[in-house]
Amino acid sequence: MDMKYPEGATPLDPDEAEGLRLTHISTREQLNIFEAENIRAGAVWAWRSRSRNMLDEGFIRRLHRNMFGKVWKWAGNFRNTDKNIGVPKERVGIDLRELCDDVKYWIEHECFEADEIAARFHHRLVFIHPFPNGNGRHARLMTDLLLEKVLGSERFSWGGGGLTDTGASRDRYIAALRSADRGDFTLLEAFVRS
């Protein structure tokens, strides 16, 4: 398959690429179409979900499986390889539990405003990079679910542009995430509402 990754995307290793369920796909553009259809179905499931605890590993994995499971065999399973981004593979489950616990604490103790909680959650979820692929799309949906269903706030606009392909909006998003990597959330908080 001809896989050209946009800036900041996570390349698949050969074993992960073998997990493609749709063997007729031969280009990134075709893959994007099938993934987009699966993501829409996963989003419908998520918004209809009556789960009271979205901030747990089970829900996070189920959401990824529902977003990508018709395309990838490994959907919903934590990655078992290290990537160009993310915590070491052995830390994924640990760091994810810590993130969920931190967010619950921030909410309970009103440590930050809703937008800052959501931006910090999004950044750390992307930084952990729990899955072989689809982490940004998954983290954006998880963040919007957190905003609306848990924090009672409006979803983010995410820069108003497509973030899966190259372009100015994606460049700003990647720059905002990298700034947050250094502890400065100013660009990310501005971007998510722009």
**Contact of 153 with 115, CB cutoff 8 Å:** yes
Label residue 1 by pLDDT band (50, 70, 90). low
**pLDDT at 172 > cutoff 90:** yes
Choose among 146, 107, 105: nearest CA to 125. Answer: 146
Q: What is the pLDDT of residue 165?
A: 67
CB 156 within 8 A of CB 147: yes
Q: Is 170 left (phi over 0), alpha (psi -120 to 50) or beta?
A: alpha
Collect all residues with Cβ–Cβ distance below 8 Å to 103 and sequence separation of at least 6.
55, 117, 120, 121, 146
Q: What is the pLDDT of residues 132-157, one digit of tens each?
A: 999 999 999 999 999 999 999 999 99
How would residue 117 be classed by pLDDT, with cut points 50, 70 and 90?
Answer: very high
* In the chain, where the domains are located: 14-154
Round the average pLDDT of the chain to a whole number and report it: 93
Per-residue model confidence as pLDDT tens digits over 18-56:
899 998 988 888 999 999 999 999 999 999 999 889 999
Most confidently predicted of 2-11, 27-36, 51-60, 117-126: 117-126
Tell me the mean pLDDT in the region 83-98.
Answer: 96
Yes or no: say if 175 and 163 are a contact pair by the CB < 8 Å rule.
no
Residues of the chain above pLDDT 90, percent = 79
Are the C-beta atoms of residues 149 and 54 closer than 8 Å to each other? yes
Per-residue pLDDT band at 6 (split at 50, 70, 90): low
Q: In angstroms, rounded to a whole number, what is the distance separating the alpha carbons of residues 122 and 181?
A: 12
Domain 14-154, CATH homologous superfamily name and number: Fido-like domain (1.10.3290.10)
pTM of the model: 0.92
Cβ–Cβ under 8 Å, residues 54 and 25: no
Higher pLDDT, 27 or 65: 65
